Amino acid sequence: MLNIRLNSLLVSPAVLAAALLLGTSAAKAETQATSVDALSQVSQYSQEGKSANSIGQVTSVSQLSDVKPTDWAFQALQSLVERYGCIAGYPDRTYRGNRAMTRYEFAAGLNACMDRVNELIAAATADLVKKEDLATLQKLQEEFAAELATLRGRVDALEAKTATLEKQQFSTTTKLAGEVIFAVTDEFSATPAGGGNNTVFQDRVRLSLNTSFTGKDLLVTRLAAGNATNFTLPGGGSEGLQTFNFGNTGANNVNVDWVAYYTSPIENLKVYIPAVGGLHYDYAPTANPVLDSGDSGSTTLSVFGQRNPIYAIGGGAGIGGTYDLGGGLKVTGGYLADSANNPANKNGLFNGDNSILAQVSYAPTDANFQVAATYVNAYRKGGGIFDAGGNGTAAAVGSLAANSPSVVATSTAAKVNAFGISAAYKFSPTLVFNAFGMYAKANFIDDGFGSQDVWSYGAGLALPDFGAKGNLLGFVVGAAPYAPGRQTGVGTRAGRSIPLHVEGFYKYQINDNISITPGLIWVINPGQVDSNDDALIGTVRTTFTF
C-alpha cells in the first residue's frame, strides 16, 4: 500500500467554507459581478437552503452540471465519488455561480474524498480501499498541493479567530430590571391612639442596573421610590409590616438604595461587597427557597413571612461571602456597618452601628431539604435592632419593645447576640414547607435596665403553581420579634403577650410581567398586650416586572 499517512490527507471540514470564499473571489475576478448581484445570489441560496431537501448526497459527479467531464481530474474524482459516495451537491446540481468549478472548489471536493478514505482506514476497513484509488488520491493531492495548502492556511486562520472570539466573546453588559408595586390596603379592628386607619393606595418602584464585566460577576445599582406609610397599630410597633413598605422613601423621592458588587475570585467562593444598602440576606442562604423573594412583590405580603428575622439585624456597607465546601455544605460570614460613610464620632466603618454574621448551611442538591444555623453579633444604637441597618427606611420587623434600645432613653445602646435556625423541606415541586426560630440577648449599655430576651419563630407553607403555572398560594404563622416583660422605664414593663402573626395570600400570575396578590394579615395581641384589639390587614397588591 502506498505510504499515504492519515494526517497528510486530513483537512478540517471547515475547508468548505474557505473554499466558497476563495471560489467567490475567483468568480468576481472573472465576471466583475456587482455587490447587488452578490447579495441577490446570497438571498437565493438562503431560500433554497431552507427547502426540505436543501442538501443531499449525489452518487455521481456527472450529476453536477457545472463540472466539465472532459478533464482527467474530473474523471478521477468521478470514479472516487461513485465508489465511496464522498461529495454532496445542491438541488439544482451546481456548485453555485453557473460556471465551471474553480481549482479551490475542486480541492474542497478532493478533500471530501480524502476524508472519506481516511474514515474507512480508521474504521479498520482499509481492505475496502483499492491501491489504485490511493495512488489516484496521491496524484491529485500533488497536483492540487498549492490549493490544499492555501485552504489549510485559511482554515487555520479561521480556527484561530474562532478560538479568540470564544475567549473574548463576553463584553461589558448592563441590563435594566424593574419592579413596580401598586397596593390598595386597609387595616381593620385595631384602635390605636389617635383613631383608626384608613384605606390607602400606595406604591413602590425599584429600577436595577445590573452590570457584568466578565460574565462571572455582577454590579447592582438600584434606584427606589415609594409613597407608603405604615399603619399605626397599638403599641407603636411594626407587626404586619408589608414588603412594599420596606425600602420606601415615603414621598416618591428617588434615591439610590442599593449598590453592591458580587464576584467569585476563586473557585467555590462568592464574595459580596455592598457600598450602600447591603443586607445579610443578600449573600447568606436563608433556607426559605420559595417565600424569600428579597422583599419583592412576588411572594408574601409581609416582610416577616420572607425569612428568619435574624437576617434583619444590621445592614449597610461592608463585605460578605460564602464558601462552598462541597456536598451542599457552605460556610458564610459577613460584616456590615450602618453609617460606614459618616466620618463623625461614633460612626464610620468600625465605630458606629454594625453587625457580624456567621453561618453554616446545608442544602444537598440531591435532597429535598435545606437547613441553616446562624449567629449574629451586633452593636445597635441608631435604630431598631431588626431594622436592617436603617435600610428598610420605613420601620423594623416586630414589636417596639423588641426593637428599639431607645425605648428606655435616647442614649441607650445595645450589644446583641442572636442565634437562629432555619429549615425547609420540599415535599414536591408544588408543596414546600419552611420553619425558623430565633433567640437574641440584648444587653443595654449605661441605662441601668440590664438586658432583654427577644424571641421570634414561624412557619410557612408554599404551594407553587397552585391553580395555574406561575401562581402561588402561601400561608405564614408565627411570632415576629417580641420581648416579653421587658423593662421600659422606672416601674414599667412591656406586655408579656405573644404578638402572633397569621397570613394567607394568593398570587395570580396574569402573564410573565403582571401579577395580582390578594391577601390578609391577622396580628393577634399587637404591642405584646392581650387587651389590645387584634389588627386585620387586607391588601390587594399588583406587581409589574420588566
User: By mean pLDDT, which of 107-121, 241-255, 258-272, 501-515 is the weakest?
Assistant: 107-121
Q: What is the model's pLDDT at position 132? A: 82
For residue 184, give Cα distances in angstroms to 99, 151, 226, 227: 74, 70, 14, 12
pLDDT over 70 percentage in the chain: 76
CB atoms within 10 A of CB 458: 23
Q: What is the model's pLDDT at position 170? A: 64
Residue entry with cell 479551490 = 104
Query: What distance in Å separates the CA atoms of residue 482 and residue 523, rounded to the nearest whole number?
Result: 13
Asked if pLDDT for residue 213 goes beyond 60, the answer is yes
The number of helices, as runs of H, and strands, as runs of E, in the chain is 9, 20
Residue 332 buriedness (CB in 10 A; 0-12 / 13-18 / 19+)? buried
Residue 154 pLDDT class (50, 70, 90 cuts): confident
Distance of CA 164 to the CA centre of its chain: 27
Q: What is the model's pLDDT at position 101? A: 63
Q: What is the model's pLDDT at position 308? A: 98
Q: What is the model's pLDDT at position 491? A: 54
Residues 452-482 have pLDDT tens digits of 899 999 999 999 999 999 999 999 999 999 9
Question: What is residue 498's three-state secondary structure?
Answer: coil
Average pLDDT, the chain: 81
Q: What is the model's pLDDT at position 58? A: 44
Q: What is the model's pLDDT at position 115? A: 81
**Architecture of the CATH domain 170-545:** Beta Barrel (2.40)
Query: What distance in Å separates the CA atoms of residue 241 and residue 396, rounded to the nearest whole number?
Result: 8
Angle (nearest 5°) at CA 306 between 395 and 402:
40
Question: What is residue 74's three-state secondary structure?
Answer: helix
Query: What distance in Å separates the CA atoms of residue 435 and residue 189, rounded to the nearest whole number?
Result: 28
H or E stretch at 239: none
Query: What distance in Å separates the CA atoms of residue 119 and residue 10, rounded to the nearest whole number?
Result: 10
Largest CA distance in the chain: 116
Q: What is the model's pLDDT at position 191? A: 67
Q: Which residue has better confidence, 509 or 194? A: 509
With contact defined as beta carbons under 8 Å apart, do 493 and 474 qualify?
Answer: no
For residue 258, give Cα distances in angstroms to 134, 247, 274, 279: 71, 10, 8, 9
Q: Which residue has better confidence, 202 or 188? A: 202
Angle (nearest 5°) at CA 158 between 152 and 160:
100
Domain positions in the chain: 72-122, 170-545
Asked if pLDDT for residue 325 goes beyond 80, the answer is yes
Per DSSP, 406 falls in state G
Asked if pLDDT for residue 490 goes beyond 90, the answer is no
- For range 522-540, the mean pLDDT: 93
Residue 336 pLDDT class (50, 70, 90 cuts): very high
With contact defined as beta carbons under 8 Å apart, do 9 and 118 qualify?
Answer: yes
- Tell me the residue type at 161: K
Residue entry with cell 460606614 = 340
